[in-house]
Amino acid sequence: MSTKPIIRLSVSEAAKMFGVSQRTVRRAIQGQEVTYVVVQGRYKINFESLLRWSQRTTTVKNKRDQQGIGQYVDQWKLSGKLYSPNPKSLEGDEA
């Protein structure tokens, strides 16, 4: 059983990625709405908790979709869904 890696972002990275101000991210930290660790005096926020937070808060959800990573989602949609993902690319993953 492999554990998935934990992705952590700084306050500034989280603010850019979600299209909100650093102040908004710091408020989420202070309100214990996201999980984080402190590394060398700086907050490192768990990415999964940021996603959950962005889905719970309507204002953040809208900013995420308009100014953050959500604005690129249409570009991620695949046209050939019938063969996506390629079954041959998954053969080596089963072990």
pTM of the model: 0.71
Of the CA atoms within 13 Å of residue 73, those in its CB half-sphere come to: 10
Position 30: which residue type? Q
Average pLDDT along the chain: 85
pLDDT at 95 over 60: no
Residue-wise pLDDT tens digits, 14-45:
999 999 999 999 999 999 999 999 999 999 99
Residue-wise pLDDT tens digits, 55-73:
998 999 999 888 988 888 7
Q: What is the pLDDT of residue 69?
A: 87
C-alpha separations of 81 from 29, 72, 90 in Å:
39, 18, 15
